[in-house]
Structure 1
Amino acid sequence: MKSKLYQKIEAGTAHVKSRVTISNLAMKSDENLQELIEIAFDIHHELHVKAFWSLDLVGEKKLKLLVPYLDAFCEVLPKIKNDSSLRPATRIAMFLAKSNHRKNGIKLSQEQEHILIEALIDRLIQDEKVAAKAYAMKALFVFGKKYNWIYEELKPILSQDYSNHSAGYKAAAKNILKRLK
Structure 2
Amino acid sequence: MTTAQLYDELNYVNHSREKRLHYANLMLANPDLLPKLLDILFKVNDKISVRAAWVFEFMCQQNIELIIPYLDTFTNNIGKVHLDPAVRPIAKICELLAMAYTSKENNGIKHALTEKHKERIIETCFDFMINDEKIAPKAYSMNTLFLLGKDYDWVHPELALILERDFQMQSSGFKARARHILRKIKKAKDK
- Using the TM superposition, give the Cα deviation of residue 29 of structure 1 relative to its aligned residue in structure 2, in angstroms: 0.9
- Cα drift, residue 41 of structure 1: 2.1
For residue 32 of structure 1, report the CA deviation from its aligned partner.
Answer: 2.5
Q: Do structure 1's residue 104 and structure 2's residue 136 form an aligned pair?
A: no
2:45–2:83: 8 Å Cα contact kept in structure 1?
no
2:124 aligned with 1:119: yes
| TM-score, length of structure 2 as denominator length | 0.88
Deviations 1:26-51 (A, max 9, x none): 11112333322221122133410011
Stretch deviating more after TM superposition (41-50 or 10-19) = 41-50
Moved more, 126-135 or 141-150: 141-150
Give the alignment of 1:158-169 within 5 angstroms.
Answer: 158-169=163-174
What letter matches 2:33 in structure 1?
A: N
Gaps of 5+ in 2: 187-191
The alignment-based identity, stated in percent, is 33
- Structure 1 gap ranges (5+): none
- Taking structure 1 as the reference length, the TM-score comes to 0.93
Equivalent residue number for residue 58 of structure 2: 57
Q: Look up the equivalent residue of 1:56 and give its one-letter code.
A: E
Q: Which amino acid aligns with 1:157?
A: I
For the pair 1:144 / 2:153, whether they are aligned, the reply is no
Counterpart Cα distance in 2 of 1:161 and 1:32: 40
1:46-105 CA-to-partner distances (Å, cap 9, x unmatched) read: 410011011001111101111111111111111111110000001001111111123513
Give 2:73's aligned residue.
72
Q: Distance in 2 between matches of 1:28 and 1:13?
A: 20
Which secondary structure state, in structure 2, belongs to the residue aligned with residue 145 of structure 1?
helix
Q: Secondary structure at the match of 1:148?
A: coil
Distance in 1 between the 2:35 and 2:80 partners?
20
Q: What per-residue deviation string (whole Å, max 9, x for no partner) do you get for residues 77-135 of structure 1?
A: 11111110000001001111111123513031111111111111111011111100000
Deviation at 1:178, TM superposition (A): 1.2
| CA RMSD, Structure 1 to Structure 2 (Å) | 1.5
Q: How many residues align?
A: 180
Name the structure 2 match of 1:27.
28
Match of 1:170 in 2: 175
Report deviation, 1:141.
Answer: 0.5
Secondary structure class of the residue paired with 2:82: coil
Runs of 4+ in structure 1 over 2 Å off:
5-8, 30-35
Distance across 2 between alignment mates of 1:175 and 1:142:
13
Aligned equivalents of 1:113, 1:161: Cα separation in 2 = 24
- Structure 1 residue 147 displacement after superposition: 1.4
Residue 161 of structure 1: how far off its partner (Å): 2.6
